Structure formats: structure tokens, C-alpha cells
Amino acid sequence: MSQPAMINRYKWYELIGIYAGILLFLTFVLAPFIEGFLVSLKPLSQLFSSPYRFIPEHGSFDAYRTMWTSVPGFGWYIFNSFLISGSITIIVLILVVPAAYAFARFEFRGAGLLLGAFLAVKMFSGAVLLIPLFRLMRSFGVLNTYFAMIIPGVAFIIPTGIWLLHTYIRRIPRELDEAAYVDGASQLYTLRRVILPIAMPGITVVAISSFIEAYAQQFIYALTFNSKTEYMPLPVGLFAYFGRQEVVWNELMAASFVGIAPALVVIFFLQRYLVSGLTAGAVKQ
């Protein structure tokens, strides 16, 4: 059904209600980001002036320039954040794809129990398990390395990935697998050539959600399992710098926006693949 046809299904007052709800939602979601960005443009003297000015009177990017030169290793912190998040995402995809395919296509005893156990893992906060995780990382000998932040991230993100992708693969008709088997294809070939192209939107969703979660949860693991500056991701680096002295709010907001900007760019370019691949591979050539 085309978009104009879908719009015509609703009456004018229903459309007004829908758009008003969307606008209200976006206001609550975007307002903190807009305020934070405007704070980064204000000189420090305007932040606590009375009356408070929401729009900066003389906005500038001085806070960005000052922050970049005053925070030591800022660029390296961003690199570490991307390295950790990207590594977690890649490992999660490598493990989630075959696991989700197995849960979606093979019936075996205890499958439902395992899926329930995956959900149970998500009920535990990483903060609750910091002490046993610390002992585990120490026994592995990976404290003060990238692995100390990657391993827990992978462990906590995999359950969500399996649930998302196995649900998506279950919607793919089994007739496609059977047609491939009739042609002599193996299960691995069927997964790689038939299922993966169709499941690419679901895989993209898993990749984006894994990257976002990995990028967001770096602070607690890096603060607990790492004490070396060369392995610090951005959140811990900013905490280490701004937490030692008086907080310069405009520079802190500037650093935060520079830190999340690369992640937003990656998400922006990946989200266009959400629609593509819905029917790819569904037609036998």
C-alpha cells in the first residue's frame, strides 16, 4: 500500500492527533540535545546569567577549539570508543547469525528454555556483576586491555541480538530452505546464499542496536577493568579530565557532541540498509 493511500485511511482529526503526538515525542527526545548543543555555543559567562537566555546572544565554536586542545588525547579516546564498539559489534554478528538461524530453523529440546535464559541475562545490570566480572577478567589476564571491555560487552549484547534476529528469520518461508536443499545445497550454503540476503535488514538492525549499546555501556566496564590512559574510551577520558577540576560546562557539552557525532554518522549511513534486502535472494535465479 502506497503512502498516500495509507494517509487517506485516516480522517483529518486523526492525522492531527498522530502528528501532534509525534511532535510531542520529538520535543521530549530532542530538547535535551538542542539545549546541550546551545550550551556548547555559549561563552561561560552566559551559562549562569540572569535572566537565562536559551538562545546564545553571541554564539561561537570557541568551546570546541578549547576543548580539543585542553583535553589530552581526546582524538585517541574517540578512536578507542570506536575500536571497542566496532569490535563488539563484529563479534556479536559473527556469533548471533548462526545461533539465530539454529533457533529459527532447528527444533531441539530446551530451545525455549535457552531463549528464556537469554532474556534472564538482560535482567541483570552490568553493575551488579562487576565484582565477579572483575575476578573473571583478572583470571583471564586481560585487565588493562581492550579485551577487558570487549568480552563483557559481547556477553551482554548477544542475547538481544539472538532474540531480534531469530524472530526475523522465522518469518522467512521455510520453502526457500527446502528449495535450496532440493538443489543439493548444504545448510551452510543455504544460510549464506539464501537466508542472509533476505535477513540483511534484520542483521542491520542487530548491528545498529549492538553498536549503540556497546557505545553507551563503555563507561562502567572501562572504569572498572582499565586504568591505562591508552585504552580509555571517550566517556572515561572525559570523566578523568572534567572530574578532577571545576566542570566547564560549555567545553563538556562540546566534547560530548563531538564524541557522539561519529556514532550518529555511522548510524545514519547504516539505516538506509534497513529497507533494502527485504526480497533479495527470495527469487531463485
CA separation, residue 251 to residues 42, 54, 133 (Å): 10, 17, 34
How do the pLDDT tens digits run along the chain, 285 residues long? 445 545 556 677 778 888 899 889 888 888 888 888 998 898 887 887 777 777 887 788 888 988 888 888 888 999 999 999 999 999 999 999 999 999 988 888 888 888 888 888 777 777 788 899 999 999 999 999 999 999 999 999 999 899 889 888 988 888 888 888 888 888 888 888 889 988 888 898 889 889 988 988 888 899 999 989 899 998 888 888 776 667 788 888 898 888 888 778 877 777 666 555 344 334 444
Angle at 32 between CA 63 and CA 30, to 5 degrees: 115
Q: In whole angstroms, what is the distance from residue 228 CA to residue 77 CA?
A: 12
Q: In whole angstroms, what is the distance from residue 208 CA to residue 200 CA?
A: 12
Q: In whole angstroms, what is the distance from residue 252 CA to residue 66 CA?
A: 11
b vs e for 7-36, b when ≥16 Cβ sit within 10 Å of the residue's Cβ? Answer: eeeeeeeeeeeeeeeeeeeeeeeeeeeeeb
DSSP annotation of 52:
P
Which pLDDT does position 239 carry in this prediction? 85
Which pLDDT does position 233 carry in this prediction? 93
Cell, residue 35: 539545549
- The highest-level CATH class for domain 73-273 is mainly alpha
Residue-range domain boundaries for the chain: 3-60, 73-273
Residue 109, Cβ density class (10 Å: 0-12 exposed, 13-18 middle, ≥19 buried): exposed
pTM over the 0.85 mark: no
Residue 199, Cβ density class (10 Å: 0-12 exposed, 13-18 middle, ≥19 buried): buried
Which pLDDT does position 278 carry in this prediction? 43
Which pLDDT does position 282 carry in this prediction? 41
Number of other CB atoms surrounding residue 191 within 10 Å: 20
Q: Find out whether 176 and 282 touch, Cβ atoms under 8 Å.
A: yes
For 100, the 3-state DSSP assignment is helix
Which pLDDT does position 3 carry in this prediction? 52
What is the DSSP secondary-structure string of 162-207? HHHHHHHHHTS-HHHHHHHHHTT--HHHHIIIIIHHHHHHHHHHHH
Which pLDDT does position 95 carry in this prediction? 95
